[in-house]
Amino acid sequence: MRKMLAVVSRVLTAVSQKPTGRVLLATRNFANDASFDIKKCDIHRLEEGPPTTTILTREEGLKYYKIMQTVRRMELKADQLYKQKIIRGFCHLYDGQEACCVGLEAGINPSDHVITAYRAHGFTYTRGLTVREILAELTGRRGGCAKGKGGSMHMYAKNFYGGNGIVGAQVPLGAGIALACKYNGKDEICLTLYGDGAANQGQIFETYNMAALWKLPCIFICENNRYGMGTSVERAAASTDYYKRGDYIPGIRVDGMDVLCVREATKFAAAYCRSGKGPMVMELQTYRYHGHSMSDPGVSYRTREEIQEVRSKSDPIMLLKDRMVNNNLASIEELKEIDVEVRKEIEDAAQFATADPEPPLEELGYHIYSREPPFEVRGANQWIKYKSIS
């Protein structure tokens, strides 16, 4: 009898596992989709806003969960590598704001365009680059997405224009990208992101004016994480209604901690821009867990209790996980498997990012221009010359 039970046990084990060792969950009948109520958006100069209900499929939910977990784990690994002095220089982490980059990407097309500020790692990943390319760029290695010469603030991908280090300077560039979309007659839009700390920049209001005059297909997105460096929005802005800052441009204020709310708001704004009505301003109310940059501990201007309260009540990954488990779209065991996969991917990428060689000095002048014939670049003095190759 014991031998028979042992044989049956081995057979069941063999049937229930893939060759990779992952346990199959096919025996459980998951729902294909579920409907959810989402927070109503505040609106400005609009008769109606985005929908307050949405449908999430099981496939979409698993995808969003894995991407958000990957961004979270990637940023935590960057934190570790920075403290080990493997990553140097500026480094602005995105953990806590994952619902923004994932929800925005879910609401547009791959052919659409995105430009953001210096907290760019999440968008670099959602726009299609790998964790390996991102971490290798952070460590300044040849395998990085900018060949190790861009670092944390200067990463690029197809239809993704950075990563920009000057506060607010990417906003006029985003309007220029939107102008190109309209000029070329393409059904494309540009998401132009900036933070609440940049929202008082004069160049942003100049850009609003031009975009409204020319009816550019541009969504101006203010990621309001409540602090510009170490200054709270209440101390920095006479009006914290950033979605109304466009005045004559319609605006919406969105729960930036809910990936579904961000997705539906993005679809709504994208449809508005594609229809030829002009730009829209979107404010995403979100929160960053780390300080402004790695040089900022993040607790001198806010309390640890405040950070913990957001983590416990509004964490974007936790909110999606609870929705999926409570509505039979996934099991806790399945999501744990995803967590294990993500951790392995991050560890493998980190090993590559520390072992890959740095770019040689002779490549210092490479990639200054795109599709240009080679030319010489002067170095620190007139006798030092570098060759530039596109």
Tens-place pLDDT, residues 61-100: 999 999 999 999 999 999 999 999 999 999 999 999 999 9
Q: What is the crossing angle of helices 98-106 and 316-326, to 10°?
A: 60
Q: How far is CA 182 from CA 104, 179, 270, 279, in A?
A: 21, 5, 14, 12
pTM: 0.92
Percentage of the chain beyond pLDDT 90 is 90
Q: With respect to residue 4, please indicate whether it lies within any of the assigned structural domains.
A: no
Q: Greatest CA span in the chain, whole angstroms?
A: 88
Burial letters for 126-136: b for 16+ Cβ neighbours within 10 Å, e otherwise? bbebbbbbbbb
Q: Calculate mean pLDDT across residues 151-180.
A: 97
| Residue 159 pLDDT exceeds 80 | yes
Question: Given this model, what pLDDT does residue 28 score?
Answer: 80
Q: With respect to residue 327, please indicate whether it lies within any of the assigned structural domains.
A: yes
Q: What is the crossing angle of helices 259-274 and 98-106, to 10°?
A: 40
| C-beta separation of 196 from 223 below 8 A | yes
Q: Which helix (H) or strand (E) holds 115?
A: strand 113-115
CA–CA separation, 46 vs 249, rounded Å? 10
Question: Given this model, what pLDDT does residue 27 score?
Answer: 58
- Extract the tokens encoding 112: 């659409």
- Extract the tokens encoding 350: 């980190």
Q: Calculate mean pLDDT across residues 123-142.
A: 98
Q: Calculate mean pLDDT across residues 307-329.
A: 98
Lowest model confidence (mean pLDDT) among 2-11, 36-45, 324-333: 2-11
- Extract the tokens encoding 24: 């199959």
Question: Which CATH number do you get for residue 293?
Answer: 3.40.50.970
- Other CB atoms within a 10 A radius of the CB of residue 371 amount to 5
| C-beta separation of 249 from 272 below 8 A | no
CA–CA separation, 44 vs 64, rounded Å? 29
**Residues near 183 by Cβ (< 8 Å), separated by ≥ 6?**
none
| C-beta separation of 313 from 254 below 8 A | no
Q: With respect to residue 11, please indicate whether it lies within any of the assigned structural domains.
A: no
- Alpha carbon 339 to its chain centroid, in Å, reads 19
| C-beta separation of 149 from 143 below 8 A | no
Q: How far is CA 387 from CA 244, 323, 361, 368, 381, in A?
A: 49, 55, 11, 10, 15
Beta bridge partners of 23: 17
Q: With respect to residue 12, please indicate whether it lies within any of the assigned structural domains.
A: no
Q: With respect to residue 30, please indicate whether it lies within any of the assigned structural domains.
A: no
Sign of CA dihedral 53, 56, 60, 61: positive
CA–CA separation, 4 vs 246, rounded Å? 74
Nearest of 385, 316, 364 to residue 103 by alpha carbon: 316
Q: Please give the tally of structural domains in the chain.
A: 1
| Residue 11 pLDDT exceeds 50 | no
Q: With respect to residue 10, please indicate whether it lies within any of the assigned structural domains.
A: no
Question: Given this model, what pLDDT does residue 4 score?
Answer: 43
Residue with tokens 């496939």: 59
CA–CA separation, 4 vs 29, rounded Å? 29
Q: How far is CA 121 from CA 101, 208, 338, in A?
A: 10, 26, 21
pLDDT band at 15 (very low <50, low <70, confident <90, very high): very low
Q: With respect to residue 348, please indicate whether it lies within any of the assigned structural domains.
A: yes
Q: Calculate mean pLDDT across residues 28-43.
A: 96
| Residue 21 pLDDT exceeds 90 | no
Residues 228-271: tens digit of each pLDDT = 999 999 999 999 999 999 999 999 999 999 999 999 999 999 99
Q: With respect to residue 390, please indicate whether it lies within any of the assigned structural domains.
A: no
**Residues near 25 by Cβ (< 8 Å), separated by ≥ 6?**
331, 333, 334
Nearest of 126, 38, 29 to residue 319 by alpha carbon: 38
Q: Which domain holds residue 63?
A: 38-378
Q: Calculate mean pLDDT across residues 140-168.
A: 96
* Cα three-residue angle 40-45-51, rounded to 5 degrees: 25
